[in-house]
Structure 1
Amino acid sequence: MRHLLLLLLLLLPPRVWAQEEVVGPRLEAGHAQGHVEPALVPTAPPRLVVGAVDTPRFHILYTARSQESARQLASGIESIRDAFVSVLGRDWPGTTEVRVGMGREEFEALALPGGEPPGWAVALAYPSHRIILLNAQTLAGPEGQVTLRHELAHVALGQLAPSWPRWFQEGLAQHLTGENLSMTHYAALFSAVAQEKVFRFEHLAEEWPDLPSDVEIAYAQSAAFVAWLASHYGPEGMGRLVDEVATGQPFEQAFGKAFHTSLWVEEQAWREGLAARYGWLPLTTSTSLLWLLIIVLSAGAYLRLRAIKEQRLIEMDAREAAEEAAMREALEAELAQQRAALVPPDLASTPSAPETLEIPEWYEPGNERDEDEDTAPRPAKPTVH
């Protein structure tokens, strides 16, 4: 199924992929580290807090509006921590405090002094304090559980060892939350493999890329590599890595002691299999792709048959119209013949025009005189004397 979705993503117009570069930072989980995290000093709970729910390893504070969300969180948070232990092979010490507010205003009000959450963050972790801030609205959303697991992962790493490379922090957090299985990560790695743009992990130890598309690749490859390490060495190997890093030695040195190999060798082995896992080969040999082709061909055949059927209907309509016109003409001709047969012959002949009088050639209008006028003598004119 993921191959089908990937093909759909690849068919999207480039504009869709480029939108992320202009919309600014995404709303996502975050964690306070280095200069961002406030000093480790005791602080009183915010006045907004009205109560708490306790579990064996968590202390959950809530406001008047987030009480129900806090109680629901308490019912499942211990099992999430157990899942972390099954991957890391270690559990972090102490009780973790979770502060739950309703809405952005309460979320920011629950922050530690000097550690206000950035505007893009929907959750925040203070690893050295073992404190997590959550927005109940985000927690109830579709990404709520992923956000919670992501913050717990940062607390776990911060408590288990003092320093981790950034790619390992982000990769482990996404591996523990299941984000490494998302279609977004798969598509990012597919693009990176096709463009030969997979970063070296030594370049992702401290800094992160600037371009959003490169950031997506960095997240995706970090999650994929950590998942690859976890599958190869299991919780025992990951636990040894945690123990070695906890001693304060450099990460690469701790990596070599835990896995009996170097980071460079493992990275090369992981890279060699990228084309088989994220290139065109999985698509061309995928059963999902075969079904996709069958669906496309079936749809094409259906549209073709439909077009042929519509053309035939048009031709049939035209033929019927022509036949109807011919029948109408024949009927009109037959009716004309029948009417002609019913009329009598003498009435059927054309009446002659009335005779006209011939005028003699010598006739001139105005010269008409009576014959008596020509023969009778005219009286003499009187003579005036």
Structure 2
Amino acid sequence: MRHLLLLLMLLLTPAARAQEFILPTPEAGHANGGVEPAMVPLPRPALVVGEVTTPRFRLLYTAKSEGSARQLAGNIEAIRDHFVSVLGRDWPGVTEIRVGVGREEFEALALPGGAPPGWAVALAYPSHRIVLLNALTLAGPEGMVTLRHELAHVALGQLARGWPRWFQEGLAQNLTGENWSMTHYTALFRAVTQERVFRFEHLHDAWPDLPSDVEIAYAQSAAFVAWLSAKHGPEGMGRLVDEVATGQPFEQAFGKAFKSSLWVEELAWREGVAARYGWLPLTTSSSLLWLGMTGLVVAAYVRRRKQKEEHLAQMEAQDVAEEAELREALEAELAQQRARLTPPPPQPVDGGESADAAKTMDAAAPEWNEPIAANGPESEDDEEDSPRPHKPTLH
């Protein structure tokens, strides 16, 4: 699944931004091994108002940081147990953690001669078994990672001397879980595809200058230490700690502990780097299956959404058409009703048409509508000329 996420990120991120990764450098708040002031008796800082103790830790707190210190005391032993399960050894003595709130208290709790850098939010004094914390960072997402990182430097400083830089940083990142970040995977992907994987002998004391190369150095150190831990287990790591503790050079102690040289182990690790971090995992087996399944799911979702939108549009158009048809039918019915209830307009009487109409009416009138002469019976000439018989006269 992480290969799929990486591919999507690479497709969405321009190549010009390949070096814009957050590096686990001083900007992240780690002191990278800490500061080692002189080993002299140190009084308790005046700012400390109390302490919380566990079997292997002593937590000093100020008036503002008591709550953070007591909360941290509840899981600090479990963090140390995890370290032992990876290293195969536990460092001796009681480790002191000083907790303050804000920059002013953080600097006031520092050891004389070991002031924290301006960018640091946590600081380790490995020889003194002391870790300095700003409680404000514990509430953030990187708070516990920062604490684990500083404890890793205390553990290595107490168990032995002469650790190479790549081993210190690689082990610290494995103990904090930083090695599982997508940033690390992307850096190794870039290192493999650009053939920029460094030799570990070149990372013994010095670190690269370019930010992009620094990110690769951290990532490959974490990956190599994780590979060694998985291959040789806590027993092998414990033997390495014991051999380095004798004061012999790291490469010699490495050979005795793992029955192999650093170069041979590095070559074996490099053979699998391309298979784990190159293009191959993105185009084979489960990675390709996940990619294909994701594409099918997305395509099915888009198709289903489109079909649903088309169906809704069709239903809406059908509703509009039915409503228009019903409205037309109602309007036609109302028009018919109005036509039946309205009387016909009167016909105008004038001109020739009026005269013809009058003749027709006279011809159709009954006989008793004939006018009677005012001077009595009509004359014989009138009788002869009249086309109608005389009406009987009543006496």
Query: Normalising by structure 1, what TM-score?
Result: 0.77
Alignment of 1:188-203 (within 5 A): 188-203=187-202
Whether the aligned pair in 2 keeps the contact of 1:111 and 1:117 (CA below 8 Å) is yes
Which deviates more, 158-167 or 282-291?
282-291
Aligned residue in 2 for 1:252? 251
CA distance in 1, matches of 2:9, 2:89: 38
- Offset, 1:307: 5.6
Give the RMSD, CA atoms, in angstroms. 3.5
In structure 1, what residue type is equivalent to 2:31?
G
Amino acid at match of 1:2: R
How much has 1:137 moved relative to structure 2? 1.8
| Paired residue type of 2:212 | S
**Partner residue, 1:27:** 28
**Which residue pairs with 1:41 in the alignment?**
40
Cα distance in 2 for residues equivalent to 1:8 and 1:105: 43
Contact 1:186–1:278 under 8 Å retained in 2:
yes
CA distance in 1, matches of 2:314, 2:209: 59
What SS class does the counterpart of residue 121 from structure 2 fall into? strand
Distance in 2 (CA, whole Å) between partners of 1:257 and 1:25 is 34
CA contact (8 A) 2:33 2:153 kept: no
Kindly provide the amino acid, as one letter, of the partner of residue 89 in structure 2: R
Inter-partner Cα distance in structure 2 for 1:300 and 1:141: 38
* Residues 1:261 and 2:260 are matched in the alignment: yes
Q: Deviations over 1:85-118 (max 9, x none)?
A: 2211122122211111112221121111222212
SS class of match (1:100): strand
Note if contact 1:31-1:127 (Cα within 8 Å) is conserved in structure 2.
no
Structure 1 partner of 2:2: 2
Alignment of 1:214-225 (within 5 A): 214-225=213-224
Q: Distance in 2 between matches of 1:350 and 1:262?
A: 134
Q: 1:69 to 1:313 in 2, by over 3 A?
A: same
- Evaluate the alpha carbon distance shift between residue 313 and residue 207 of structure 1 in structure 2; reply closer, same or farther with a 3 A threshold: farther
Query: What's the CA shift for 1:312?
Result: 4.6
**Across the two proteins, how many residue pairs are aligned to each other?**
347
Q: Note the C-alpha offset of 1:26.
A: 2.7
SS in 1 for 2:132: strand
Superposed displacement of residue 276, structure 1: 2.1
Counting aligned pairs with the same residue, the percent is 68
Q: TM-score scaled by structure 2?
A: 0.75
Q: Relative to structure 1, is the Cα distance of residues 247 and 291 closer, same or farther in structure 2, using a 3 angstrom cutoff?
A: same
CA deviation vs aligned residue, 1:173-211 (integer Å, no higher than 9, x gap):
111112212222222222322333222212222222233
1:381 is matched with which residue?
none
Moved more, 98-107 or 24-33: 24-33
Structure 1 residue identity aligned to 2:108: A
Residue of structure 2 equivalent to 1:293:
295
**Structure number with larger C-alpha Rg:** 2
* Comparing 122-131 and 6-15, the one that deviates more: 6-15
Aligned equivalent of 1:165: 164
CA 1:31 to 1:294, structure 2 compared with 1: closer, same or farther past 3 Å? same
* Unmatched 5+ stretches in structure 1: 353-385
Instruction: Report the CA distance between 1:227 and its aligned residue.
Output: 0.6
Q: Which residue of 2 aligns with 1:373?
A: none
Q: Which amino acid letter does the alignment assign opposite residue 257 of structure 1?
A: K
Q: Judging changes above 3 Å, is the alpha-carbon distance between structure 1 residues 172 and 342 closer, same or farther for their aligned structure 2 residues? A: same
Of the structure 1 ranges 229-238 and 190-199, higher mean CA displacement relative to structure 2 is found in 190-199
Moved more, 209-218 or 62-71: 209-218
Task: Give the 3 Å change call, closer, same or farther, for CA 234–21 of structure 1 in structure 2.
Answer: closer
Alpha-carbon distance change, 210 to 53 in structure 1, aligned in 2, over 3 angstroms = same
Q: What secondary structure does 1:97 align onto? A: strand
Contact 2:21 2:183 in 1 (8 A): no
Q: Is the 8 A contact 1:125 1:155 kept in 2?
A: yes
What letter is aligned with 2:207?
W
**What is the distance in 1 between the residues matched to 2:217 and 2:350?**
105
Query: CA–CA distance in 1 between the matches of 2:79 and 2:194?
Result: 37
